[in-house]
């Protein structure tokens, strides 16, 4: 069974009398253990698709299955609970709560799930170590570089052991070297631990590291590559 | 969650200190106000109690009777617990004559204890010590053009007494109400009975010891015990005997709740403003929380926790300071009012030194208001935060 299955997903934004068709019938399957990049020009619908797969937004039409659950049939609160339990999210920026340390941020999802403090700190610490941040665990986000902040966000997703990690341009705010380092970390996690990643990017140099590239243009999937 | 709420508060220390300061001030002022208010209220009612006695025995339906004969009675023997004081009072109309002048007055005959209670009102002279001595309202003395040591004659025909009795003025009384002062003649009970009605009184005042100011239960119990011994007579508690003032008593709670409510309303608006600001500043963060998987309800809970923490800590500080000041008020205080208001106060017969009172009820009311305001003020920002769409919120530019 695929981890993600989108069938005929359409998304129309309505607002101020303007209708924008961001997705025009997208079909996509992801299997466990994939390491996939979502590429396409600006405005092609990458963010929209990732949001819908994460249950952050609802499709106008079509079905979205994640881990055997039909997301577009769930209520707002049910989708929130589903994200908490099963989806890791990394955004372009503002990923971390500024009042919590790196360790507390990495443990935050586990805290929300109700894990005991020693248990969640053990797992968060292990995740920080996997991302090479063990020595920065006690720092607050403002004391971390942009790359380190993004790695903490990945560590948070990793510690939560989700079905899959969705990342919307995780490297967009980083210089190319730091961005590359982040993708290499993600790649290692994918290879060593089988974490499933789907991330969008504009940076062609990152694509050398992925197993699969999905190309989106004007709201349609226009091709796939397996480099 | 609590830790997150707490750290979020520490993030804008200036604003939260100011907001917390207002809340603390509101709690503080509310406690001090309640202490002073209860103190003034108690003083007023203690005065009323002192004037009336705990229980009053009079003839049945005395309010409808006018004739002195119908209003008086021979005091019956009553089974009273030890430590109880009973005093007879005889009150009747009399014409007071001094030389060529005369005035209608109310003559009141008091026993020793009753006379002693007049001491506070004594403006000049002394209390009557022997038969034939009288206290005169100052205004009445002025109207009759008499002073200390002068003689007046009380004329009250038609009763079973002598109908006429000479008195020497030994003291002048300063009463709160001038129109009463112009009609007041106070003498010993024996003299009053000789003049008006030998052996009779118009009322018996019963005073108990060792019961609380508003404690009505022992009074009702004693009332029930006295009933069978009072043929043709009626017994009332001091509150029943003063229905107009007794009607004020239930207002106490209403006024208290209302005043404190107004304080808290102002505090609540400032709190609401602070919570709203911190929501607007943190829209992106609330979006992130929602994206990570907090349900609307839990996002709302976070806002509530922040509000409760802020108010809780501030209320504790305010309550601490308020209770400290209350301990001072407990030992007695003078109202910090301008002299002319105090003058009116004294006219009314209220003491100048009041004693603060704070009951558990008052403290709980204040803290209850604080918690209520914390929840109410968080309601709107909390609702807004819970309705934020994660994607839009994270894109929000403050
Ligand atoms: N909230 C919204 N309301 C209206 N239109 C929107 C909204 N969000 C996105 N769109 C539109 O939908 C289309 C797809 O947007 P989306 O953000 O998914 O593109 P993207 O591929 O992520 O672009 P980029 O690479 O610049 O991030 C765009 O035309 C955009 O203008
Ligand atoms: Mg995008």
The predicted-structure confidence for B88-119, as pLDDT tens digits, reads as follows 999 999 999 998 999 999 999 999 999 999 99
* Residues whose CB falls within 8 Å of the CB of residue B19, separated by 6 or more in sequence, listed in order: B270, B271, B273, B274, B310, B314
List chain B residues with CB under 8 Å of A121: none
The Cα–Cα gap between A57 and A67 comes to 17
pLDDT of residue B348: 67
Is the predicted pLDDT of residue B342 greater than 80, yes or no?
no
Structural contact between residues B302 and B4, judged by C-beta atoms closer than 8 angstroms = yes
Region B280-296 average pLDDT? 95
The predicted-structure confidence for B191-248, as pLDDT tens digits, reads as follows 999 999 999 999 999 999 888 888 889 999 999 999 998 888 999 999 999 888 888 8
pLDDT of residue B151: 95
Residue B160 burial (CB count, 10 A): 14
**One-character DSSP codes across A145-184:** -HHHHHHHHHHHHHHT--SEEEEESTTTTS-HHHHHHHHH
pLDDT of residue B17: 94
Region A86-109 average pLDDT? 95
**One-character DSSP codes across B162-204:** -SEEEEEEEEEE--SSHHHHTTEEEEEHHHHHHHT-TT-BSEE
A17 lines ligand 1 (CB under 6 A): no
The predicted-structure confidence for B364-377, as pLDDT tens digits, reads as follows 989 999 999 999 99
Q: Do A80 and B394 touch (CB under 8 A)?
A: no
pLDDT of residue B230: 87
List chain B residues with CB under 8 Å of A85: 293
Structural contact between residues A128 and A152, judged by C-beta atoms closer than 8 angstroms = yes
Joined tokens for residue A140: 């607050």
List chain B residues with CB under 8 Å of A54: 291
Residue A227 pLDDT class (50, 70, 90 cuts) = confident
Region A96-111 average pLDDT? 96
The Cα–Cα gap between B60 and A129 comes to 94
A201 lines ligand 1 (CB under 6 A): no
Nearest partner of B349 among B180, B187, B214, judged by Cα: B180
Compute the distance from residue A55 Cα to the ligand 2 centre, in Å: 16
Strand pairing class (A35-39; A197-200): parallel
The Cα–Cα gap between B172 and A37 comes to 105
Q: What is the largest CA-CA distance in chain B?
A: 101
Is the predicted pLDDT of residue B25 greater than 70, yes or no?
yes
Residue B2, Cβ density class (10 Å: 0-12 exposed, 13-18 middle, ≥19 buried):
exposed
Region B25-53 average pLDDT? 89
Is the predicted pLDDT of residue B316 greater than 90, yes or no?
yes
Nearest partner of A137 among A121, A159, A150, judged by Cα: A121
Residue B390 pLDDT class (50, 70, 90 cuts) = very high
Residue B346 or residue B108, greater confidence: B108
DSSP 8-state code for residue B130: S
Q: Do A56 and B298 touch (CB under 8 A)?
A: no
Q: Give the ligand whose atoms come closest to the C-alpha of residue A202.
A: 1
Q: Which atom of ligand 1 is nearest to the CA of B391?
A: 1
Q: Give the ligand whose atoms come closest to the C-alpha of residue A43.
A: 1
pLDDT of residue B296: 95
Contacts 24+ apart (CB under 8 A), A58-61: A59/A9, A59/A10, A59/A11, A59/A23, A60/A10, A60/A11, A60/A12, A61/A8, A61/A9, A61/A10
* From B11, B292, B390, residue closest to A99, measured CB to CB: B11
Locate the DSSP E strands across chain A.
4-15, 18-30, 35-39, 61-66, 69-70, 87-90, 164-168, 197-200, 212-217, 220-225
Nearest partner of A31 among A64, A5, A65, judged by Cα: A5
Closest chain A CA to residue B289: A97
Residue B259 pLDDT class (50, 70, 90 cuts) = confident
User: Is the complex ipTM higher than 0.90?
Assistant: yes
Share of chain A above pLDDT 70, in %: 100
Is the predicted pLDDT of residue B349 greater than 70, yes or no?
no
The predicted-structure confidence for B111-161, as pLDDT tens digits, reads as follows 999 999 999 889 899 999 999 999 999 999 999 999 999 999 999 987 788
| B179 Cβ under 8 Å from any chain A Cβ | no
* Shortest distance, CA B387 to any CA of chain A (angstroms): 10
Q: Tell the residue number behind the tokens 């709670």, with chain if given.
A: B253
Give backbone dihedrals phi and psi of B376, rounded to 5 degrees, phi first: -65, -45
Is the predicted pLDDT of residue A205 greater than 80, yes or no?
yes
| B77 Cβ under 8 Å from any chain A Cβ | no
Domain spans of chain B, in order of start: 2-45+249-394, 55-237
A55: left (phi over 0), alpha (psi -120 to 50) or beta: left
The Cα–Cα gap between B390 and A205 comes to 30
pLDDT of residue A82: 97
Per the CATH hierarchy, to which homologous superfamily does domain A4-225 belong? Answer: P-loop containing nucleotide triphosphate hydrolases (3.40.50.300)
A219 lines ligand 1 (CB under 6 A): no
Q: What is the largest CA-CA distance in chain A?
A: 52
Nearest partner of B366 among B218, B285, B264, B249, judged by Cα: B264
Is the predicted pLDDT of residue B337 greater than 80, yes or no?
no
First-to-last C-alpha distance (Å) of chain B = 24
List chain A residues with CB under 8 Å of B389: 57
Q: Which helix (H) or strand (E) holds B136?
A: strand B133-137
Which among A71-85, A168-182, B156-170, B232-246 has the top mean pLDDT? A71-85
Q: Which atom of ligand 1 is nearest to the CA of A11?
A: 12
Distance, CA of B284 to chain centre: 53
């Amino acid at each position: 069974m695929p981890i993600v299955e989108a069938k005929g997903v359409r998304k129309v934004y309505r607002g101020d009398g303007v209708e924008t068709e961001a997705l025009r019938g997208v079909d996509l399957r992801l299997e466990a253990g994939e390491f996939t990049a979502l590429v396409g020009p600006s405005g092609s619908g990458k963010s929209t698709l990732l949001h819908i797969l994460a249950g952050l937004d609802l499709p106008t039409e079509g079905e979205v299955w994640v881990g055997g659950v039909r997301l577009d049939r769930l209520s707002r609160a049910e989708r929130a609970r589903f994200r908490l339990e099963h989806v890791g999210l990394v955004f372009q920026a503002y990923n971390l709560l500024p009042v919590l340390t790196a360790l507390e941020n990495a443990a935050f999802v586990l805290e929300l799930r109700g894990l005991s403090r020693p248990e969640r700190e053990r797992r968060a610490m292990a995740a920080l170590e996997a991302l090479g941040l063990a020595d920065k665990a006690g720092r607050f986000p403002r004391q971390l570089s942009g790359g380190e902040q993004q790695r903490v966000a990945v560590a948070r997703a990793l510690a939560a052991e989700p079905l899959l990690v969705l990342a919307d341009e995780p490297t967009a705010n980083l210089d190319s070297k730091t961005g590359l380092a982040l993708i290499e970390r993600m790649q290692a996690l994918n290879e060593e631990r089988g974490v499933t990643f789907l991330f969008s990017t504009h940076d062609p140099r990152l694509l050398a590291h992925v197993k699969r590239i999905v190309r989106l243009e004007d709201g349609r999937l226009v091709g796939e590559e397996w480099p | 969650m609590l830790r997150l709420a707490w750290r979020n508060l520490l993030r804008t220390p200036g604003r939260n200190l100011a907001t917390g300061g207002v809340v603390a001030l509101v709690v503080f002022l509310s406690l001090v106000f309640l202490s002073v208010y209860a103190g003034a209220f108690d003083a007023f009612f203690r005065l009323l109690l002192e004037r009336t006695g705990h229980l009053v025995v009079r003839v049945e339906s005395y309010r409808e009777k006018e004739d002195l004969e119908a209003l008086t009675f021979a005091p019956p023997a009553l089974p009273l617990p030890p430590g109880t004081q009973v005093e007879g009072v005889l009150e009747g109309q009399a014409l007071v004559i001094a030389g060529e002048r005369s005035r209608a007055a109310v003559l009141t005959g008091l026993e020793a204890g009753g006379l002693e209670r007049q001491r506070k009102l004594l403006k000049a002279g002394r209390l009557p010590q022997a038969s034939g001595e009288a206290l005169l309202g100052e205004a009445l003395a002025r109207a009759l053009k008499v002073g200390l040591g002068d003689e007046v004659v009380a004329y009250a025909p038609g009763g079973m007494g002598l109908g006429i009795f000479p008195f020497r003025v030994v003291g002048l009384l300063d009463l709160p109400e001038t129109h009463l002062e112009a009609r007041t003649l106070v003498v010993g009970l024996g003299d009053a009975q000789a003049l008006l009605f030998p052996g009779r009184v118009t009322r018996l005042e019963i005073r108990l010891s060792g019961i609380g100011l508003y404690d009505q239960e022992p009074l009702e119990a004693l009332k029930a015990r006295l009933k069978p011994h009072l043929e043709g007579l009626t017994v009332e508690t001091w509150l029943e005997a003063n229905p107009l003032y007794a009607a004020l008593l239930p207002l106490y709670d209403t006024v208290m709740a209302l005043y404190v409510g107004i304080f808290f309303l102002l505090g609540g608006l400032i709190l609401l403003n602070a919570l709203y600001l911190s929501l607007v500043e943190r829209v992106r963060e609330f979006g992130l929380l929602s994206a990570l998987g907090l349900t609307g309800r839990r996002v709302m809970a976070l806002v509530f926790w922040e509000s409760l923490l802020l108010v809780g800590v501030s209320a504790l500080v305010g309550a601490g300071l308020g209770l400290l000041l209350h301990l001072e008020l407990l030992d007695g205080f003078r109202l910090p009012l301008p002299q002319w208001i105090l003058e009116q106060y004294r006219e009314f017969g209220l003491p100048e030194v009041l004693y603060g009172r704070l009951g558990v009820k008052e403290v709980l009311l204040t803290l209850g208001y604080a918690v209520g305001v914390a929840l109410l003020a968080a309601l709107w920002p909390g609702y807004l935060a819970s309705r934020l769409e994660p994607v839009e919120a994270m894109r929000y530019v403050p």
